Every structure is written in structure tokens, then in C-alpha cells.
């Protein structure tokens, strides 16, 4: 209950308010179900994407695969690297109970996720397909079974991944080489797929081919969906008893593996995760620094080098950026466009670029929070520790701008048909808006730092500052994309100038606001 209450508000302070909140949630589920009904009808009758048993198996497989990945990454932190392990394992409770309680928290979280998406989708499918009552009865059992699968699988998978992570954590060069190799293979795979698209691209013909390929892919994916194919079939009343037997058999095997393998290794991994043997000998030298800003900046640089995996996770969307831009613009270039269409393509590129870039500023949205308990020491230092904030901002700006620069260089090299002038004007807009968003994200954390939460758990899971930063980035992307389309269509030459001036003005305003907020609120931050 302690762990669950730290992630969810369980205490009922006002019974009427609680009932009203429960009623709103129920109403929300009904609204989602109605939306799902219209969405499935639109897919089936307008987009001509067949909504059948293979569609459901495909959706089950994709959503549950996403849940497995999310649970695996979450359990790697909460099971083995969470700072609350030191507290929980010191309680008068068995290690098995701590282990089970952590899995139970993830199970409840998955249960609520399925209740808000997968269950309305299945009910909507039953409504538009006029399925019998047995379909809905099978949904009731699946509500409790489906969340178990990703949690149990993640508890098993997280162990070898944790060992691999510990191995790579001290070998940054190996991590970088593996990342480059993976990127090259992905790029070659994308290039091969795009070469299959005939040029010039005819939208109607391409869409017909897409629907046919998607239908075949969904049907063939049922062969590889494993247990989820059995769940899909039993929902439709196909070999119900045998499929239920397979599902419960798989659950029994997974539970046995968790009990026999994951449970015994939990305490060993949880108690050694934060202990690292020192293999390098460094000569201790005392250096007096005359520049406090430079000291903090070097600290940020050193931390990023030593924890390259964390830095990569912060900028993972920036790493995906070149692939997304390459695919979209390859398709754009293959379509016969008018001048009007070309201007819309540029505006859409700006929007997509900003969307991916601003979503990567999560490090700025948690810049103060990640200091945890150590922030108290910074505040007691006999110096102007506000320079720490400027050092973090400067490092994040330089790092993201450097990555964006490399991406736009690749953009120009991989798509020589695209106007270099447009590419570099777009680069200026993206850098200015991104820098302003970094300042805004930092300001969010400045006003509401989660120091105690991070000090207790060493986890940024469900951090509301990150969510706010991503939402603001999404809104900025849409606004600047829309403004760019309007100004470029109105007057192409002066449109670019006005877009860049607006982006620069946004940066200046955010800089002014951030510096003023920093002066007022930094000294007010308490642990």
C-alpha cells in the first residue's frame, strides 16, 4: 500500500468528491467506448481496413507488446534500482513480500490502463459486429488475465536486460558502437522499404497497396502473436476450452519461472545494483576553480559522459528524428506537388521537427529534481549556486543543438533534392524554438521540483513536470507549424523572415521570464 499510495491518490478525504470522481471516470469510459465504436466503423467502412478477428489479435499483440516494454523498463528501475529498496528491505517483512508487492503495483497499473483503452475497444468491436453475450463474458475474464502477462514476462525479461545494462553502463564506447550499428541497419532497412515504393507516387494506388499489405500483415501476424492469438480466438468463441487451457497453462509456467528465477535473484540484484567496484585509479589533485559557472558546466559534461545510457534515453527521440524526417520527405518528394503543396510540406516538416525535438527536453524538465537530497548541499554552499541552473541550461542547449545540427546535415546529404536554403532556415527556426522550450521546461521544474520524490525512489516515472513539458512542446509545434504554413503561403520570401523573427522573439521572451523566475524562486526551493 505504501508503494501504491506513492503512485496513486488512495486516501479518501471527501466521500462525495470521491463518488463524483468515480462517476466521472465511469462516464469517461462510456465516452471512450462510443468514440471507439465510431472509430472502428470509420476504419471498416471508410478506410476499408477490415475489422475482424485478425484485427483484434493484431491490436492485442501490439498493445501488449508495448505494455511488456513499458513494464520491463519500469521494473528495471522499481525492482532493482529504486532508492526505496533500502527502506522497504529494512522493514520487518520478507524479501518475497517486497518483491510481490512491487509486481502487484505494476499489475494494478496495467489493469487500469487496459480498463481505459483495451476494454472499451473490445466492447466497441462487439457492438459493431453484433457479437453474442459470450464475447462480453470472455472480456470479463480477460480484464484480469491480460494485465498479468506483461507484468510476469517483464519480471523475467528484466533480469538478463539488467545484467546487460550493468555491463554496458561502464563501457560507453561499446554502447556507442552498438547504437551506431543499430542505426545503420535501421537506415538500410528503411531505404530498402522506400525503394519498393514506385515513383511518382500515386496516393490512391499507394493507399490501396497499403490496405492490402496491412490486411496480409495482420493475418500473418496472428502466427507470431503466440498466446495473444489464443486469447483473440477464445474471445470469438473458437475452441474456447482448449484456448483457455493454453492461456492458464502459459500463466502457470510464467508464475513458476518468476517464483523460481526472478524471486531468488531479486534481493541479489536489488542489494548490489548501486554498488560499483572501482577499477580505475586516479591521482587525487585539488584544483581551485575561479569560475563557478564553468565548474557546474564541467560537472554536467562529466556526468553525461559517465552515464551515457541515461543521456541516450533523454535524447532518444532526437535519434529517431533523422529516420522520421527521411521517410516523410522521401514520400513528399515522390509526389507531384504544386508550389502551394511544397509550402505546406515545409510547414509540416517544421511541425514534425519541433514535435520530436521538444519531446526530448525531459532532462530540462527534471534538471533540479534529479539533484535529489544533494540539492540541500548546493543551497548551503557559500556562493551563487543559481549558476548551476544556467550551467544545466547551457549544457542542454549545446547538446541538443549539436545533435540537431548533425541531423540537418544528414537531412541535406540524404535528400539532395530538397532546397538547402529551406533546410537551414528550418534549422534556425527549430534551434530557436527548442532553446526557448528548454528554458520553459526548466522553469516548470524550478516552480515545482520533485526533490523528495527522486531522493526516495531515484525514478522519474510519472513525473508531472515531464508531462507538462511534452504537452507544451506539442502545442508549440502545432502553433509554429500553423503559423509557418500561413506565412509561407502568404509570401514565401518574407514568410521565412517573419517565422525566424517569431522564433527568436519566443526565445528572448522565455529567456527573460526564466532569468526573472530564477532570481525569485531559486532561493525558495526546499527539499
- Number of structural domains, the chain? 2
Q: Is 183 within a domain?
A: no
Choose one of 272, 300, 323: the last residue of a domain.
Answer: 272
205's enclosing H/E stretch is: helix 203-221
Q: Is 184 within a domain?
A: no
Whether 146 and 247 share a structural domain: yes
Q: Is 192 within a domain?
A: no
> Residue 396: exposed, middle, or buried by beta-carbon count in 10 A (0-12, 13-18, 19+)?
buried
Whether 59 and 130 share a structural domain: yes
Q: Is 494 within a domain?
A: yes
Grid cell for residue 435: 532553446
Whether 104 and 145 share a structural domain: yes
Q: What angle do CA 217, 221, 223 make, to 5 degrees?
A: 135
What is the Rg, in whole angstroms, of the alpha carbon atoms belonging to the chain? 26
**Cα 67 to Cα 63, 107, 109, 147, 232, distances in angstroms:** 6, 11, 10, 9, 17
Whether 234 and 296 share a structural domain: no
DSSP H helical ranges for 415-462: 420-447, 451-457
Q: Quick one: how many helices (H) and strands (E) in the chain?
A: 24, 0
Nearest to 56 by CA among 160, 129, 159: 129
Whether 223 and 337 share a structural domain: no
Q: Please tell me the distance from the alpha carbon of residue 92 to that of residue 286, in angstroms, as a whole number.
A: 45
Whether 147 and 236 share a structural domain: yes
How do the pLDDT tens digits run along the chain, 527 residues long?
555 555 555 555 667 776 877 788 888 888 888 888 888 888 888 777 888 888 888 888 888 888 888 888 888 877 776 666 666 666 666 767 777 888 888 888 888 888 888 888 888 888 888 888 888 888 888 889 888 999 999 888 888 888 887 777 767 677 778 877 877 787 777 777 767 666 666 666 667 777 787 788 888 777 777 888 888 888 888 888 898 999 999 999 999 998 888 777 776 666 665 444 445 555 656 666 667 778 877 877 777 776 666 666 666 777 777 777 777 777 777 676 677 777 888 888 899 889 888 888 888 888 888 776 677 666 666 666 678 888 888 888 998 899 889 888 888 887 777 888 888 999 999 999 999 999 999 998 888 887 777 666 666 666 788 888 889 999 999 999 999 999 998 888 888 999 999 999 999 999 999 999 888 877 777 65
Whether 119 and 223 share a structural domain: yes
Q: Is 28 within a domain?
A: yes
DSSP state of 89: T
Whether 129 and 207 share a structural domain: yes
Choose one of 272, 301, 319: the last residue of a domain.
Answer: 272
Q: Please tell me the distance from the alpha carbon of residue 306 to that of residue 97, in angstroms, as a whole number.
A: 34
Whether 259 and 377 share a structural domain: no
Whether 377 and 484 share a structural domain: yes
Burial 129-164 (b: 16+ CB within 10 A, else e): eebeeebeebbeebeebbbbbbbbbbbebbbeebee
Whether 352 and 254 share a structural domain: no
Q: Is 7 within a domain?
A: no
DSSP state of 278: -
Whether 306 and 249 share a structural domain: no
Q: Is 277 within a domain?
A: no
| Residue 66 belongs to domain spanning | 12-169+198-272
Grid cell for residue 151: 507484468
Q: Is 286 within a domain?
A: no
Choose one of 272, 304, 338: the last residue of a domain.
Answer: 272
- What is the pTM for the complete model shown? 0.65
> Do 121 and 29 contact (CB within 8 A), yes or no?
no
Amino acid at each position: 500500500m505504501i508503494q501504491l499510495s506513492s503512485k496513486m491518490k488512495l486516501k479518501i478525504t471527501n466521500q462525495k468528491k470521491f463518488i463524483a470522481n468515480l462517476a466521472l471516470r465511469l462516464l469517461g469510459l462510456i465516452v471512450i467506448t462510443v468514440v471507439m465504436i465510431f472509430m472502428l466503423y470509420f476504419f471498416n467502412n471508410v478506410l476499408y481496413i477490415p475489422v475482424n478477428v485478425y484485427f483484434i489479435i493484431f491490436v492485442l499483440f501490439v498493445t501488449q507488446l508495448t505494455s511488456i516494454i513499458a513494464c520491463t523498463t519500469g521494473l528495471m528501475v522499481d525492482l532493482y534500482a529504486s532508492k526505496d529498496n533500502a527502506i522497504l528491505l529494512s522493514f520487518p517483512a520478507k524479501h518475497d513480500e517486497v518483491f510481490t508487492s512491487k509486481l502487484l503495483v505494476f499489475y494494478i497499473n496495467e489493469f487500469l490502463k487496459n480498463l481505459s483503452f483495451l476494454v472499451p475497444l473490445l466492447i466497441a468491436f462487439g457492438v459493431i459486429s453484433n457479437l453474442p453475450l459470450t464475447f462480453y463474458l470472455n472480456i470479463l475474464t480477460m480484464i484480469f488475465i491480460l494485465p498479468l502477462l506483461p507484468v510476469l514476462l517483464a519480471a523475467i525479461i528484466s533480469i538478463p536486460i539488467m545484467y546487460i545494462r550493468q555491463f554496458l553502463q561502464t563501457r560507453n564506447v561499446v554502447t556507442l558502437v552498438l547504437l551506431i550499428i543499430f542505426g545503420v541497419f535501421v537506415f538500410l532497412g528503411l531505404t530498402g522499404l522506400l525503394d519498393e515504393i514506385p515513383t511518382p507516387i500515386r496516393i490512391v494506388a499507394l493507399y490501396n497497396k497499403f490496405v492490402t499489405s496491412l490486411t496480409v500483415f495482420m493475418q500473418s501476424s496472428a502466427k507470431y502473436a503466440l498466446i495473444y492469438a489464443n486469447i483473440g480466438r477464445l474471445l470469438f468463441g473458437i475452441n474456447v476450452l482448449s484456448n483457455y487451457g493454453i492461456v492458464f497453462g502459459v500463466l502457470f509456467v510464467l508464475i513458476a519461472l518468476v517464483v523460481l528465477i526472478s524471486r531468488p535473484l531479486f534481493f541479489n540484484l536489488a542489494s548490489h545494483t548501486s554498488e560499483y567496484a572501482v577499477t580505475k585509479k586516479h591521482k587525487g589533485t585539488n584544483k581551485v576553480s575561479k569560475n563557478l559557472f564553468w565548474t557546474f558546466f564541467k560537472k554536467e559534461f562529466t556526468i553525461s559522459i559517465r552515464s551515457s545510457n541515461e543521456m541516450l534515453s533523454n535524447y532518444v527521440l532526437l535519434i529517431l528524428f533523422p529516420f522520421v524526417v527521411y521517410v516523410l520527405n522521401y514520400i513528399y518528394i515522390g509526389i507531384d506537388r504544386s508550389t502551394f503543396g511544397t509550402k505546406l510540406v515545409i510547414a509540416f516538416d517544421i511541425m514534425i521537427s519541433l514535435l520530436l525535438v521538444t519531446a526530448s527536453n525531459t532532462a530540462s524538465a527534471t534538471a533540479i529534481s534529479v539533484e535529489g537530497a544533494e540539492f540541500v548541499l548546493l543551497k548551503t554552499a557559500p556562493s551563487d549556486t543559481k549558476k548551476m541552473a544556467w550551467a544545466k541550461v547551457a549544457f542542454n542547449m549545446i547538446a541538443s543543438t549539436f545533435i540537431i545540427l548533425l541531423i540537418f546535415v544528414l537531412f541535406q546529404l540524404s535528400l539532395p533534392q530538397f532546397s538547402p536554403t529551406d533546410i537551414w532556415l528550418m534549422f534556425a527556426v527549430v534551434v530557436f524554438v527548442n532553446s526557448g522550450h528548454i528554458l520553459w521546461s526548466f522553469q516548470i521544474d524550478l516552480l515545482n521540483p520533485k526533490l523528495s520524490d527522486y531522493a526516495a525512489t531515484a525514478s522519474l516515472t510519472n513525473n508531472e513536470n515531464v508531462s507538462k513539458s511534452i504537452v507544451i512542446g506539442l502545442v508549440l509545434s502545432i502553433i509554429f507549424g500553423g503559423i509557418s504554413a500561413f506565412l509561407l503561403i502568404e509570401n514565401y520570401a518574407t514568410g521565412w523572415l517573419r517565422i525566424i523573427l517569431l522564433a527568436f522573439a519566443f526565445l528572448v521572451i522565455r529567456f527573460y521570464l526564466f532569468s526573472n523566475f530564477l532570481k525569485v524562486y531559486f532561493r525558495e526551493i526546499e527539499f
